[in-house]
Amino acid sequence: MTSDPVFLVTDRLRTALEAAQVTGFQFDHVDVSTSEEFDAFFPGVELPPWHDAHHRRART
């Protein structure tokens, strides 16, 4: 079993990486939710959209 590094990035960082035409990875949508504790400490705070940025495997 292997595992590749995965990084969570915001829309802002995704846009910057795409504008810089950086290659070697791809983006996927990530569902992010908050806990009851988070909601209690930060009422009304909405998290921004996040994306999974992971290594793009070479086609064989």
Indicate the domain borders of the chain: 1-36+49-60
pLDDT at 4: 65
Give pTM, 2 decimals.
0.66
Tens-of-pLDDT digits for all 60 residues of the chain? 345 677 889 889 999 999 999 888 888 888 888 999 999 999 999 988 888 888 766 555
pLDDT at 58: 53
Q: How far apart are CA 60 and CA 57, in angstroms?
A: 9
pLDDT at 55: 74
Q: How far apart are CA 53 and CA 11, in angstroms?
A: 11
Q: How far apart are CA 20 and CA 23, in angstroms?
A: 9
pLDDT at 59: 53
* Residue pair 27/14 in contact by the 8 Å Cβ criterion: yes
* Residue pair 51/9 in contact by the 8 Å Cβ criterion: yes
The two structure tokens encoding residue 59: 């086609």
